[in-house]
Each structure stands twice: as C-alpha cells, then as structure tokens.
Amino acid sequence: MHAIQGRLTRRTPSRHAGRTALALALALAAGGAQASDAWQTSGDVRFGYVGSETRARSGATTDADSVRARVRFRVRGDLGGDWHASGRVAARLDSEQDDAEFWMRAYAPGPAGLEDGQATIDEAYLEYRPAESPWSLRLGRFQAAFAIDDIMKKSLDQNDSTNFDITWTDGAWWQWRGQDWTTHVIARHNDRRGPTGALRRPLDFADGGSRAGLFVAAESKTAVGPVVQRMVTLTWLPSALRTNGLADPALEDYLAVTAKAAAEWPLGDGGTRFRLGGEIGWAPDTPRREAVNSGTGEADALSWQASFSFMDVLPDHDFGLVYGRVADGWLLSSDFRPNDELLEARWVWQASKAWQLDARIRRREEIDLPASAAGPRRDDDVYLRATWKF
C-alpha cells in the first residue's frame, strides 16, 4: 500500500452553482459569528478496506485493494425568521490516491461524484421552514436520497452519497408533509460539463434546454398492515438524452418512473423481523444500444431490485440480501450500473449509537453484449468498513 499523500491544489469556482455554494458557506460562517449559540456541528468518519477483482469482456482479470475513508463535517443552525442554514465539507481519501485537490465546480468529475483524494462543499443551503406549516423550501446545494428502507438502502434513481461516494444536488427542494404522505419536488441544475451525481452517458447537458431537470416523489411510511413504506417517483431530464451517442446531435427528453415499497413481519419470539423490499423502474425513451456498447437496437428500460433483510438476527445485528437487474437504457442510479445483474449480501452491526460496522460481498455481471464481445464483464468486490458519527 502507498501512504496517503498529495498536495492541496486550488481551483477557480464555477460562475454558477460553485460561486453560489461558496457564498452560502461564507454566509454560514457570518451567521455563526452573530448567533453561535444557535449553531450546531456534526459529522461522520467512514473508513475501511475495499477489494475487487474484474474479469473483462476479453477474459483478462485484474484486481485492486486499498484502504479508503470518507470524512464529513457539518455546521447548521437557525438564522431567525423561520430561516435555517447548513454547510458541510466532505473528503474522499484512499491509500492508492495520487494527489489531493479541493473540487469546487458545478459538476462532479464522474458518476460516483468525487474521485479519490478530492474534497468539496457537498452541502450549502438555506431553508425556509415556517413554524407549524406543512411545507418547506430548500435552496442551494443539498443531499437528496430516496431509497428502499432496508439495511442496503439502494435506489434505482435519486440517492446521493452512497457508500464512500460523495455526490450532491444543486437546485431547489420543496416538501409538503401531509398526515400520511410527504411530497417532494426537486428542480435541479445540471452544468453543461456534466451533472453532480449519477446521471450516466449518453445523458448530456450541453444543450441549453437540458440544464434544468425535475424530480418528483410521493412517499408514505405510515404502516398499512405489514407495508411500512410506499413511494412513487418521476424523473424528467428535458433535451438530455443523446439517443445515438454523444457525437450525434439527436436529442430526446429522458423520463423515468419508479415504484418502491417495503413490508415487514416478525419472525418468532426473539425480536427478529423480516423486511421485504422491492422497486421497479421504467423509462419510455432509451438510447440505442450502439451508444452504450451493449449490442444493436434500442436499449431496454425495465429495471428492478428485490431485497431481503433480517433485522436483529442477534441484538443490533442485521443481515440482508439484494438482487437486481438493471437495463442498459436505465441511466439514473448511483447504486446500480446500467446493463448489470447484481447480487449482494451485507451484514450490519450497530455497535453503539455512534459506531456502525458493515461487511459486504457483491457480484455484478453484464446482461447484454455486442457480438464482438467474448464474454460479459464481471466484477466481484468486498468491503469491511466502520462509520463513526459525532
């Protein structure tokens, strides 16, 4: 293993969301100086071992392993007049990283967000939350996650900063909290150079009409019999889909819908519970398979996952399995790659209120292939990680 090393390099912020996030961060500091008693700090440190083996389509195999960490520190508080603010700095570190850099742009360097050795401001927002009102409005840079409520917490669509990743959303988030259902409407900004999260190619935001996207979700966690979670979502990315690949000017809107649910039953008298989760997603317009290197013709859209969680198998110990099949035309998920079949097992131990330990083993294999491929790509990976919250 190489020691974690590197130098901090300064980059010029973007003229749009980058400057907005920086201005909000400065506003947080100023507000904290005037009302320090109303401000609180929190954060988390996640670290562990990750290892993987990849078999390419040619049959050649490669492997990698490293020690990885994610560090996040937040300051949040009240500004008065029903206004609230939050700012957070996040860094991703790896024993195999080459350099260190503070990334301050309106887009992320890749689908997983930051690369190893990079840090950024992943939260910088103002929120108006009227007292005794069912609605709130958040403006700026924030974290938005809409996953199945199981121990894996995976999603086919919006799910910022999973595992060791650091992603974010720039825009506006309106919420309405009813008696049983909560409605979310997120208008997000996508930079012409790329998105801030896992919106995968051939989604492209160079066209002026593609910069604003919309995400809508309605969720209920009011128990109805064994059902403990219900959710439907819609994602609309206008003029963002390069149906024939990035080099072709043809554009279409990308629209996707999902339905998610979870149900729970007790198992015996020892306190163990079984939770079944499921999600299905569909997109009416998809790219050509030539554009995603999965064959010929139009890419598929129908995608799904099913999870099986055993809660409190031992006190504070959970175990879960998830299986998913994601189509080559599904381009929205940070947890699932397009054109992949996934099988994963995970064990979680909540050792204390502050400490959680996780172990995972996972296999991912391609589904559809071009005629020239000798075989599907397959990835096997494991991790053992610990998370400390403060």
pLDDT class of 37 with cuts at 50, 70, 90: low
Residue 379 corresponds to which amino acid?
D
SS3 content of the chain, % helix, strand, coil (to 5): 5, 55, 40
**Rounded average pLDDT over 318-346:** 98
**In the chain, how long is the greatest CA-to-CA distance?**
65
Please report the pLDDT score of residue 377 as a whole number.
98
Residue whose C-alpha is closest to residue 123's, from 194, 188, 68, 72: 72
pLDDT digits (tens, 9 = 90+) for 86-96: 999 999 999 99
CB-based burial label for 93 (10 Å; 0-12, 13-18, 19+): buried
pLDDT digits (tens, 9 = 90+) for 99-153: 999 999 999 999 889 999 999 999 999 999 999 899 999 999 999 999 999 999 9
Which residue's structure tokens are 């996952």? 305
pTM of the model: 0.90
Q: Does position 2 have pLDDT exceeding 70, yes or no?
A: no
Q: Does position 316 have pLDDT exceeding 60, yes or no?
A: yes
Q: Does position 34 have pLDDT exceeding 70, yes or no?
A: no
Is the peptide bond prior to 134 cis by the omega test (within 30 degrees of 0)? no
Encode 210-219: b = buried (16+ Cβ within 10 Å), e = exposed: bbebebbbbb
Please report the pLDDT score of residue 6 as a whole number.
35
Distance from chain centroid for Cα 147 = 9
Percentage of residues in the chain having pLDDT higher than 70: 91
| Average pLDDT taken over every residue of the chain | 92
Q: Does position 8 have pLDDT exceeding 50, yes or no?
A: no
pLDDT digits (tens, 9 = 90+) for 176-192: 999 999 999 999 999 99
